[in-house]
Amino acid sequence: MNWGAGLAASAGLARSARPDSGGGGRPRFDPTDMRLVSLSHVNDPETTNVYPGDPEFTLSTVASLEEDGFYLQYVREGEHTGTHFGAPCHFNAGEPSADELDPEDLMLPAVKLDIRDRAERDPDYAVTVEDLWRFEREHGPIPEGAAVVLWTGWQEKWGTPAFYNFDEQGRMHQPGFAPEAVSWLLETGRLGYRGALGTDTFSPDVGIDDRYRVSLMLYRRHRISLEVLANLERLPVTGGWVLAGGPAHRNGSGATATVFGMLPRY
């Protein structure tokens, strides 16, 4: 990937895009008027919560300054360890893998939905179409091709068993999007050829949905997920962008990622 060309292309897209059915056009992007914040957790085998069934995450030193003259670690992990992005092929055959995505797919205008109060009352809370309508009445249209990010408060549980929120039957309870809400985002073009659903939990699906209905809808064309995000208090409700960068493994289902929030300086 040519990241410099990708950033320039994304800036051009932002300036030239037109609104589509119902959503607002992609906002203007001026990199000289932006500051960066990290929206990623630091991966540490002592604290990183790994999705149930995923490979164990380990770090080991394979070269040291004292013995080898340089320092190097061996990293063993699944592609979706810690903060990461998911590629369309993660759930749908024939869709792009991480190495087939364009740089523009990984830099998107962002909106943030604060559902912390609802998620605290109901850990199975699923964002509804009415929630999205209410957001737009207060903050204006969600831009086309946006990253729609949920701030659930789950980031505060990171590194503890509470992040999983298992019940006595071993079912995981985490908030997410209702399938009907994602259908509306797709039908209105707010999630179009590209776009993302983001969250500070493991998945845009609610934890108890073992059919992954939201993921099956999301991961088509060039749409991605941004999962296990951190520091979402630093992402503005509107006016920011997100940029995800990670290794582009051949046929990758996604990648562990450093996700940046790109914020207006004002």
Residue 29 is predicted with a pLDDT of 65
pTM (predicted TM-score): 0.89
Please check whether residue 199 lies inside any domain of the structure: yes
Task: State which residues form the domain around 224.
Answer: 3-52+79-264
Q: Is 158 exposed, middle or buried (0-12, 13-18, 19+ CB in 10 A)?
A: middle
Residue 63 is assigned to a structural domain of this protein: no
pLDDT at residue 13, rounded to an integer: 41
Q: In the chain, what percentage of residues exceed pLDDT 90? A: 85
pLDDT tens string 87-106: 999 999 999 999 999 999 99
Taking 60 as the threshold, does the pLDDT of residue 222 lie above it?
Answer: yes
Whats the size of the chain, residue-wise?
A: 266
9 pLDDT band, cuts 50/70/90, is: very low
DSSP 61-87: EEE-HHHHSS-EEEEE--TTSSSEEE-
Average pLDDT over residues 211-224: 97
The mean pLDDT of the chain is: 91
Q: Which amino acid is at 148?
A: V
Measured between alpha carbons, how far is 48 from 46 in angstroms, rounded to an integer? 6
Q: List all residues 6 or more positions away from 184 whose beta carbon is below 8 Å from its beta carbon.
A: 129, 132
Q: Is the pLDDT of residue 19 over 70?
A: no
The interaxial angle of helices 129-139 and 179-187, nearest 10 deg, is 50
Total domain count, the chain: 1
Q: Which residues fall within 8 angstroms of residue 32, CB to CB, at 6 or more apart?
A: none
pLDDT tens-digit series, residues 192-215: 999 999 999 999 999 999 999 999
Looking at residue 245, its amino acid is: G
Could you give the angle at the alpha carbon of 212 between the alpha carbons of 141 and 136, nearest 5°?
A: 10
**CATH number (domain holding residue 247):** 3.50.30.50
Mean pLDDT of 66-95: 97
Q: Helices marked H in the chain — which ranges?
A: 3-16, 65-68, 116-121, 129-139, 179-187, 213-218
The answer to whether residue 41 sits within a structural domain is: yes
Q: Please give the Cα distance from 260 to 245 (Å, whole number).
A: 8
* Per-residue pLDDT at 28 exceeds 80: no
The pLDDT of residue 10 is 44
- pLDDT of 234 reads 97
Residue 213 lies in a domain: yes
Residue 232 lies in a domain: yes
Closest to 257 (Cα-Cα) out of 7, 49, 91, 80: 80
